[in-house]
Amino acid sequence: MQTTFSEIVVEGRFMLVKGFLLGFLSVKNPEGKYFFHRKAGIRRETFKDFLKEFFELDNYVHLCLEDNLVKPFVDASKLYTKITGNAIKSIRPIKSANFTFAFEVFNQDAAKDLKNIIENIPEGVELTNFFPYEEKVSEGKGTEAYAPLHEYVYRAKGMLSGDFAAIMDIYLNLKRSKYSESIICSDVKIELGEPQTISA
C-alpha cells in the first residue's frame, strides 16, 4: 500500500518548526517520513503557488508529512502554540509529483547503475519524454585525458511523475548517488488537492 502525504504550512521559524517536528516524531513514530520543501528541493506546481511560497520563505515553513501523522502533529502543534509560537496555516493533500532529469556519463558501469534507477521504476510512477542516447566510439580509445573523444557515452533525459512518496525516493536516490555530479534534476513539483478544514 502506497504511503500518502499532505503538505502542511506552519507559521514559524524553520529551526523551531523542525525541532518541534523531530521531538514529536521521537515520541509518536521515529520512522515517520517527512520532507521540508527548502531542504528536499520541493516546490508547488503552479507559478502562483510558487511565488506565494517564495515570499513566505522567512516566516512560513512548508512541510510534507505522512498522512497518518498529520492529525497528531497538528493537534500537538496547537497544544503548544503559546510556547513555540508556531501556528498551522494550511493542510492540503498531495495528489502527485514530478521532476525532470538529464545526465551524461562516460563509463559503462555508471550507465548500468543509472539505467537501473530510471528504468526499474515502481508502481505508480510514469516515465515520459524519455530520450536515451548510447554510443561506443572506437576513435576515442586511449588515455582518457588525451583522447579527443570518450570511448563510451550514455546520456538521457526525461520526466518522472506520479506517486509523491515513490517520486521522492527516486529523486533523492539520484541526488545522493555517487554520480550526482553528472546528473541535473529539476525541483520536485507537487500538485495539491483542496485545503482541509483546520478545527480550532
Cell numbers given for 63: 512541510
Longest dimension (CA), the chain: 71
Residue 2: the pLDDT is 78
Confidence (pLDDT) at 88:
95
pLDDT, one tens digit for every residue, the chain (200 residues): 678 999 999 999 999 999 999 999 999 999 999 999 988 999 876 556 656 555 555 688 999 999 999 999 999 999 999 999 999 999 999 999 999 999 999 989 999 999 998 888 998 999 999 999 998 876 655 555 455 567 899 999 999 999 999 999 999 999 999 999 999 999 999 999 999 877 66
Q: Give residue 43's domain range.
A: 5-95
168 and 129 co-located in one domain? yes
| Domain-located, residue 197 | no
Helix, coil or strand: residue 24:
helix
Residue 127 sits in a domain whose CATH number is 3.30.70
The total number of structural domains that make up the chain:
2
CA distances from 121 to 126, 127, 130 (A): 8, 8, 13
On whether the CB atoms of residues 65 and 132 are closer than 8 A, the answer is no
pTM of the entire predicted model: 0.85
**CA 167 from centre of chain:** 7
pLDDT at 137: 74
172 touches 185 (CB < 8 A): no
Domain boundary among 69, 95, 121: 95
Q: Cell numbers of 141, please?
A: 580509445
**Which of 70, 95, 120 represents a domain boundary (last residue)?**
95
